[in-house]
């Protein structure tokens, strides 16, 4: 590319159309720090969206640990590198005792793909259940449990369950959710594929962010157990303290899954993810299949992941998430209400969904409103996104070091955006 | 883990049985440098196996570039970060003009999984061809084209083709290979799944290392084209100069694939891989499916990959591969012959296969001999492995900065190992 080509043109020339950009006015990044993304024009943009840099963009401790490791060793798991098992042990200590084995991968997609293989191999069944607007990954097998991306890959081996939105709003959702899961199990059995298991984001992000009432996952978990299936908790969104009260989303609901997916925040941006599970399941799979992931659990990514745990402790991240999260949801509710919008703010900790479905007459109008808010905020230097089956939910999910001053900045920009939209 | 637990015990406690170790006497790594892995006892082990640290373990330039990037920015591809397209463009300039689009992933498995999705979506067919001892990845879909790992995932959508070992030895293999591929295409069509494409390691590593005669891939490529299938060149083994004469294995055979898989050596150990392809194929897929890989093409891994290209140029790696590779194969042949072993040394550049199938009466005995050599070398401070459908081929595949002095060290250890084995 010559100096005359714009960054967007250079990107279009080199990358295919599968690459999509956020915002009508895309962000060109220059550098990042903490909760700030500085663009090429020198404007600081407040990051209220990214859940990968969980202990802050360009975190110094993570950078130091990774830099030192790069100069020391970066081998693979067919040799012993003691720091890998040391980190695995440290991480396992944060889980219920039954979840005492871990397999490292590069991405959440790889971890989910492997979890599906384990569930299917161990049960001898093929059928999996996911929510009807779930997202769990980009491999062919994980696409099939990601109807939010496309239904192209959803085949007869998959049964989808609608999140019981009304029951959740009324606070008696667990039994209704479990009833729908039992129905889906019956569907899979009727199709002859049998029931291997269920996978569920523990904060139901792409379904629209559903976190309460606490405990509603428990009847679902029991329905899966009763039918002999494997319960896979996807903690890519909810893990590593996102909820504030707990390290893991499943813990907040008081359940113990069979398998757990860890992803995005695990290495603060270094590609590392994992499948955590019971010895019984993972060793049963492992005795028949070796699993070697070239980069999975390499010492450099492990150093990043270990540094993330250091920072979560040092910065008392979970306490910050609880305190800032409360301000965030209160601020969102108050600001949306101040502009006369019929809104429901869901979520816990630093995952919030501002549901504007009822703010307009039709879902299409509500979706347009949400898109206008997202783009309006971006033009005011604040980055959020949208989610939910109809695209009518504001997705607010900042790095976990987000502070009250940042909530104030977000609300000020939201207030200005809404004022501008209503004129 | 307490200080009293051995590194092996700590590993067994934290990781499941899917994790396997190399060698009867596993390697415990302390630190690495260039072509050397220093173990916990302070012994330097010569690395004649690893193809990930292509420009050397703990490469200083890669470490510097990654460290600087970690302190600058590490975002994702839904924002524009100009260095990503700049690297994509630099990489594409090393390919034939038709291969002008790239999608970044974290691992070769993810890139292969995506390539299979593209081939199947674009052709509207399901059937894929792979070699009968291929290895292409660990996701469910890529397991299915990896019979060397297990045949558990090989389903009706896959047809396997035996590498024509005899014809290759006689130097007239292209047409015979193409004939077998056409037969497999007919099999897939007879099964009703149709023919979507073929995937092939361009140096056939896990099938036993077959690189010659140059050009034998061309009739295979033509057979795929004639049947309307997608030819996927897996360059995880052969790419980034492994053959010495060419940057890519397919280039050496004088063919242009439709899709190309890049993996292991791409970032010298940072998790980065890619799918390179024609605009037509990748945009056709991209117009229907967005593809977002959270860590794929992140600026930190891109910095590593860019630094690898810097080092390949600066160190004149390809010329070194040609020169050292010739010494390596000559040395292997001479040393094995000096011990009266009936051996065939195949390969090119710095991928060599020492085939000892004929050195013993039965494949099981040859396999045992190869295992004894691999373990004997390890005990003498030299790391290699085995490959091939019967495990009867020495797999010799060092980092590309391997020098003549290292060949001498390897031959000395091999000589000593063989002397010891025959007594």
Confidence of residue B254 (pLDDT cuts 50, 70, 90): very high
- What percent of chain B clears pLDDT 70, i.e. is strictly above it? 99
Given a contact cutoff of 8 angstroms between Cβ atoms, the answer to whether A95 and A260 are in contact is yes
Closest listed residue to residue A78, CA positions, set B419, B158, B225, B378: B378
What pLDDT, on the 0 to 100 scale, is given for residue A172?
82
Measure CB to CB from residue A14 to each of B18, B89, B141 and give the nearest one.
B89
Q: Are residues B401 and B356 in the same domain?
A: yes
CATH for A365: 3.90.1150.10
Look at chain B and count its residues.
423
Q: Give Cα separations from B303 to A377, B263, B309, B395 (angstroms).
A: 31, 15, 10, 30
Q: Are residues B237 and B385 in the same domain?
A: no
Can you give the CATH number for the domain in which A135 is found?
Answer: 3.40.640.10
What integer is the mean pLDDT of A57-81?
98
Instruction: Please indicate, yes or no, whether residues A232 and A304 belong to a single structural domain of this protein.
Output: yes
Per-residue three-class SS string for chain B: CCCCCCHHHHHHHHCCCCCCCCCCCCCEEEEEEECEEEECCCCEEEECCCCCCCCCECCHHHHHHHHHHHCCCCCCCCCECHHHHHHHHHHHCCCCCCEEEEEEECCHHHHHHHHHHHHHHHHCCCEEEEECCCCCCCCHHHHCCCCCCCCCCCCCCEEEECCCHHHHHHCCHHHHHHHHHHHHHHHHHHHCCCEEEEEEECCCCCCCCCCCCCCCHHHHHHHHHHCCCEEEEECCCCCCCCCCCCCCHHHHCCCCCCEEEECHHHHECECCEEEEEEHHHHHHHHHHCCCCCCCCCCHHHHHHHHHHHHHHHHCCHHHHHHHHHHHHHHHHHHHHHHCCCCCEEEEECCEEEEECHHHCCCHHHHHHHHHHHHHHHHHCCEECEEECCCCCEEEECCCCCCCHHHHHHHHHHHHHHHHHHHC
What's the confidence (pLDDT) of residue B422? Answer: 85
Res. A3 pLDDT band, cuts 50 70 90? low
Would residue B224 count as lying in a domain?
yes
* Percent of chain B residues past pLDDT 90, beyond the cut: 98
Q: Which of these three, A314, A336, A365, is where a domain ends?
A: A314
B364-388 tens-digit pLDDT: 999 999 999 999 999 999 999 999 9
Same domain, A279 and A139: yes
Average pLDDT of span A274-280: 98
The DSSP-derived string for A125-185 is --EEEEETT----SSHHHHTT-TTT-STT--TTEEEE---HHHHHHT-HHHHHHHHHHHHH
pLDDT at A38: 98
Chain B residues within 8 A of A109 when measuring between CB atoms:
110, 139, 293
Q: What is the largest CA-CA distance in chain B?
A: 66
| Locus of tokens 């792979």 | B130
Q: How many helices, marked H, and strands, marked E, lie in chain A? A: 14, 15
CB of B366 within 8 A of CB of B356? yes
Helix (H, G, I), strand (E, B) or coil at A38: strand
- Between chain A and chain B, how many beta carbons pairs sit less than 8 Å apart? 328
Q: What is the pLDDT of residue A171?
A: 84
What are the chain A neighbours of B138 within 8 Å (beta carbons)? 110, 113-114, 291-293
Contact B150 A288 (CB under 8 A): yes
- Residue A274 parent element (H or E): strand A273-277
By C-alpha distance, the chain B residue nearest A284 is B17
Same domain, B308 and B335: no
How many Å apart are CA A208 and CA A86, to the nearest integer?
37
CA distance A97 to chain B (A): 12
Give the structural domain span for A287: 61-314
Would you call A271 and B17 a contact, using CB atoms and an 8 Å cutoff?
no
* Mean per-residue pLDDT of chain B: 97
CB half-sphere exposure, A28, CA atoms < 13 A: 13
Strands in B393-396's sheet, in edge-to-edge order, are B344-348, B351-355, B393-396, B385-387
Question: Does residue A365 share a domain with residue A310?
Answer: no
pLDDT tops 50 at residue A121: yes
Buried b (16+ CB within 10 A) or exposed e, A173-185: bbebbbbbbbebb
A54: DSSP letter: T
Strand order in the sheet with A36-39: A29-33, A36-39, A44-47, A382-383
For residue range A202-229, what is the model confidence (pLDDT) as tens digits? 999 999 999 999 999 999 999 999 999 9
Asked if residue B2 belongs to a domain, the reply is: no
- pLDDT-derived band at A4, boundaries 50, 70, 90: confident
Residues A146 and A292 in one domain: yes
Q: What value does the mean pLDDT take over residues B391-419?
A: 98
Contacts 24+ apart (CB under 8 A), B189-194: B189/B127, B191/B127, B191/B156, B193/B125, B193/B126, B193/B127, B193/B156, B193/B157, B194/B123, B194/B124, B194/B125, B194/B126, B194/B127
Residue B418 lies in a domain: yes
Q: pLDDT at position B171, please?
A: 84
The tokens for A353 are 């969904």
Burial (CB count within 10 angstroms: exposed 0-12, middle 13-18, buried 19+), residue A170: exposed
What's the pLDDT tens digit per position in A377-408? 999 999 999 999 999 999 999 999 999 999 99
For position B3, what pLDDT does the model report?
A: 54
Residue among A249, A262, A245, A246 nearest A221 (CA): A249
Average pLDDT over residues A270-298: 96
Q: How many domains does chain B have?
A: 2
Q: Which residue has the tokens 């890049």?
A: B262
Asked, for residue A84, whether it belongs to a domain, the answer is yes
Nearest-neighbour CA in chain A from B157: distance (Å): 14
Query: With an 8 Å Cβ cutoff, are A16 and B293 in contact?
Result: no
Of the candidates A18, A73, A292, the beta carbon closest to that of B290 is on: A18
CB atoms within 10 A of CB A353: 28
Average pLDDT over residues B87-116: 98
Residue B338, in any domain of the structure: yes
Q: Could you give the residue ranges of the DSSP H alpha helices within A242-290? A: 249-252, 279-288
* Helix, coil or strand: residue A47: strand
Distance, in angstroms, between B105 CA and closest chain A CA? Answer: 9
Average pLDDT over residues A6-13: 95
d(CA A109, CA A274): 10
Closest approach of A255 to chain B, Cα-based (Å): 22
Given an 8 Å threshold on Cβ–Cβ distance, is A80 in contact with B290? no
Q: What pLDDT is attached to residue B36?
A: 98
A162 bridge partner residues: none
The alpha-carbon gap from A306 to the nearest alpha carbon of chain B, in Å, equals: 15
Rounded average pLDDT over B398-420: 98
Per-residue confidence (pLDDT) for residue A258, from 0 to 100: 98
User: A239 lies in a domain?
Assistant: yes
Instruction: Report CA-CA distances (Å) from A234 to A116, A126, A135, A180.
Output: 12, 19, 10, 19
- Shortest Cα distance, chain A CAs vs residue B4, angstroms: 13
User: Is residue B2 predicted with pLDDT exceeding 70?
Assistant: no
Cβ of B79 within 8 Å of Cβ of A14? The answer is: no
Nearest Cα of chain A lies from the Cα of B343 at a distance, in angstroms, of 28
DSSP per-residue string spanning A293-322 = -TTTT-HHHHHHHHHHHHHHHHTTHHHHHH
Hunting for tokens 């391997």 — which residue is that?
A: B402
Picking from A81, A270, A289, the nearest residue to B18 by CB comes out as A289
Q: Look at B110 and A114 and tell me if their CB atoms are within 8 Å.
A: no
Q: How does the average pLDDT of chain A come out, rounded?
A: 97
Between chains, do B58 and A66 touch, taking CB under 8 Å as contact? no
Q: Does residue B333 share a domain with residue B299? A: no
Per the CB < 8 A criterion, the answer to whether B343 and B359 are in contact is yes
Q: Is residue A135 part of a domain?
A: yes
Pairing of strands B36-39, B351-355: unpaired
Mark whether A349 and A251 lie in a shared domain: no
Q: Is A1 inside a domain boundary?
A: no
Secondary structure element (H or E) that encloses residue A186, with its range: helix A173-191
Q: Are B77 and B204 within one domain? A: yes
pLDDT at A419 over 60: yes
Confidence of residue A350 (pLDDT cuts 50, 70, 90): very high
Q: Count other C-beta atoms under 10 Å from residue B419's C-beta.
A: 12
Contact A163, A132 (CB under 8 A): yes
Residue A422 confidence class, pLDDT cut points 50, 70, 90: confident
Report yes or no: A190 and A225 within 8 Å, Cβ to Cβ.
Answer: no
Cβ distance of A106 and B102 shorter than 8 Å: no
Chain A interface test: which of B7, B17, B282 (most A C-beta within 10 Å): B17
Give the whole-angstrom CA distance, residue B258 versus residue B267. Answer: 23
In sequence order, what are the residues at sequence separation of 6 or more whose Cβ sits closer than 8 angstroms to the Cβ of residue A119?
A: A128, A196, A197, A229, A230, A232, A258, A259
Do residues A128 and A142 touch, judged by C-beta distance below 8 A?
A: no
Claim to verify: residue A174 and residue A249 sit in the same structural domain: yes
pLDDT of residue A1: 42
Question: What's the complex ipTM?
Answer: 0.97
Quick one: A71 and A164 in the same domain? yes
Structure tokens at B278: 């024609």
- pLDDT tens by residue, B187-246: 999 999 999 999 999 999 999 999 999 999 999 999 999 999 999 999 999 999 999 999
pLDDT in tens, B282-299: 999 999 999 999 999 999
C-alpha to C-alpha distances, A94 to A91, A155, A309, nearest whole angstrom: 5, 36, 10
Q: Residues of A with CB below 8 A from B151's CB?
A: none
Does B14 sit within 8 Å of A102, measured CB to CB? yes
CA separation for the pair A406, A398 (Å, rounded): 10
Please give the Cα distance from A8 to B78 (Å, whole number).
Answer: 12
């Amino acid at each position: 590319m010559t100096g005359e080509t714009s960054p967007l043109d250079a990107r279009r020339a080199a990358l295919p159309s599968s690459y999509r950009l956020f915002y009508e006015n895309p962000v060109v990044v220059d550098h990042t720090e903490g909760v700030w993304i500085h663009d090429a024009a020198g404007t600081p943009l407040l990051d209220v969206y990214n859940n990968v840099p969980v202990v802050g963009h360009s975190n110094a401790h993570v950078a130091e640990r990774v830099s030192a490791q790069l100069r020391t060793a970066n081998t693979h798991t067919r040799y012993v590198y003691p720091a890998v098992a040391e980190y695995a042990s440290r991480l396992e200590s944060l889980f219920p005792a039954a979840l005492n084995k871990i397999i490292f991968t590069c991405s959440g997609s790889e971890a989910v793909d492997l979890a599906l293989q384990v569930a299917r191999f161990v049960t001898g069944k093929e059928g999996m259940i996911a929510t009807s607007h779930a997202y769990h990954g980009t491999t062919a097998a994980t696409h099939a449990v990601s109807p939010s991306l496309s239904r192209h890959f959803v085949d007869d081996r998959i049964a989808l369950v609608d999140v019981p939105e009304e029951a959740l709003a009324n606070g008696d959702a667990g039994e209704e959710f479990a009833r729908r899961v039992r129905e889906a199990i019956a569907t899979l059995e009727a199709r002859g594929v049998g029931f291997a298991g269920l996978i569920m984001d523990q904060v139901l992000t792409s379904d629209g962010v559903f976190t309460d009432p606490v405990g509603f996952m428990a009847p679902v978990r029991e329905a899966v157990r009763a039918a002999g299936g494997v319960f896979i908790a996807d903690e890519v969104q909810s893990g590593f303290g996102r909820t504030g009260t707990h390290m893991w989303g499943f813990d907040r609901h008081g359940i113990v899954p069979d398998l757990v997916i860890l992803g995005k925040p695990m290495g603060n941006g270094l590609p590392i993810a994992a499948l955590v599970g019971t010895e019984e399941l993972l060793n049963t799979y492992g005795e028949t299949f070796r699993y070697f992931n070239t980069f999975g659990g390499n010492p450099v990514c492990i150093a990043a992941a270990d540094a993330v745990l250091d920072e979560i402790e040092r910065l008392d991240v979970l306490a910050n998430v609880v305190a800032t999260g409360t301000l965030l949801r209160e601020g969102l509710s108050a600001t949306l209400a101040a502009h006369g919008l019929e809104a429901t703010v869901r979520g816990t900790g630093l995952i919030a969904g501002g549901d504007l479905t009822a703010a307009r007459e039709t879902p299409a109008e509500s979706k347009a409103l949400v898109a206008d808010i997202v783009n309006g905020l971006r033009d005011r230097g604040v980055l959020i996104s949208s989610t939910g089956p109809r695209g009518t939910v504001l997705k607010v999910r900042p790095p976990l070091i987000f502070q009250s001053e940042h909530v104030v900045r977000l609300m000020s920009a939201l207030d200005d955006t809404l004022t501008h939209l209503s004129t």
